[in-house]
Structure 1
Amino acid sequence: MSLSIRQIGPDEAEIYRTIRLIALEGDPASFASDAQTERDRPLDWYAQGTRDAAIFVAFVDGQPVGMAGLFVPDRPKTSHIGTIFGLYVRPEQRRNGTAAALMDAVISLARTRVRQVHLGVAVDNCAALKLYHRLGFQTYGTEPRALHVDGRFIDEHLMVRFLDKEDR
């Protein structure tokens, strides 16, 4: 098994679409979007997504097995805050460091662009919460009913990690 992680660009929109749909189909309660909506989107939408945010993909032996993204707003008053989104690793690649490696790649880029990163995670996603705490994230709130999936509401913990010298 040879794991590699890299940021993808607009010319690799099909890779983004493929791993994103796998994520949405395999773990629908973890994402605000749904597979059908994104399946119907044109490939150009995914290409634009790689322009609007930094999309990292984990590959094993050349096949995409995971992803994570970083969005940095262009508004001056909030440009110090990046949002990490879309972390997903295929089930057969979990618990071997792939998610941590994806997060490390995203955080490394974030350090060059922002002073803190935020993310949201379902309150019952114990594996993700454990990873985020290990990586230095702190919970700063909980959004009740953040998602409504298959007739049930899902609360999300809102988390932050400070990246500047004024770590709290």
Structure 2
Amino acid sequence: MTVSIRLLGPEDVETFRRIRIEALRAEPDSFASSAEDWESLPDDEWRRRLTDNPVFVAFRANDPVGIMGLLRQHASKMAHRATVVMVYVHRSLCGSGVARLLLAALIDYARNEGIRQLELSVSAENAAAIAFYHRERFEAVGRIPGGCIRNGREVDDIIMVRRIGD
């Protein structure tokens, strides 16, 4: 299986839309947003979300099979920090190393941009994701009780951090 990772550009809105909606539909409990939240967005908003922050997509042949984005802090004293978002790999490729390839591309990009710390939030109920982030040297630094409401019940979020810079 050959997988390539690419940073999407403004011309890739349809690819972005396709993999983002797939992720939200396939793993609804893994995201704070719902597919409905994103499906109703106008084209200009899709383009803005794609171009305002880096979005990496994994491709098998020409098919998008994974996604990972980065939201950088804008305040000058916090610009060394960024949040990993939209993490998804097609179920058939879980455990194949695609998430690690996406993360490696994202980390290379972040380091080149002067980012020193990556942060993320993961559902306390998503043991596989927590294990992946631990393997990738993220540390749990906190917990947000009731961080997300899923199927009418509150689920805690785990906050994880990885230092990537000097």
TM-score normalized with structure 2 length:
0.95
Q: Gaps spanning 5+ residues in structure 1: where?
A: none
In structure 1, the partner of 2:76 is 76
Alignment of 1:1-168 (within 5 A): 1-113=1-113, 114-165=115-166
Q: CA deviation at 1:50?
A: 1.7
RMSD, aligned CA: 1.0
Q: CA deviation at 1:73?
A: 2.3
8 Å Cα contact 1:10-1:46 kept in structure 2: no
Aligned-partner Cα distance in 1 for 2:105–2:20: 18
Deviations 1:41-77 (A, max 9, x none): 1222121112211000000011001100011122102
Aligned-partner Cα distance in 2 for 1:140–1:85: 17
Q: CA deviation at 1:88?
A: 0.2
Task: State, as a whole percentage, how many aligned pairs show the same letter.
Answer: 37
TM-score normalized with structure 1 length:
0.94
Q: CA deviation at 1:164?
A: 2.0
Aligned-partner Cα distance in 2 for 1:9–1:47: 9
Aligned-partner Cα distance in 2 for 1:123–1:149: 12
Q: Gaps spanning 5+ residues in structure 2: where?
A: none
The AA in structure 1 aligned to 2:67 is M
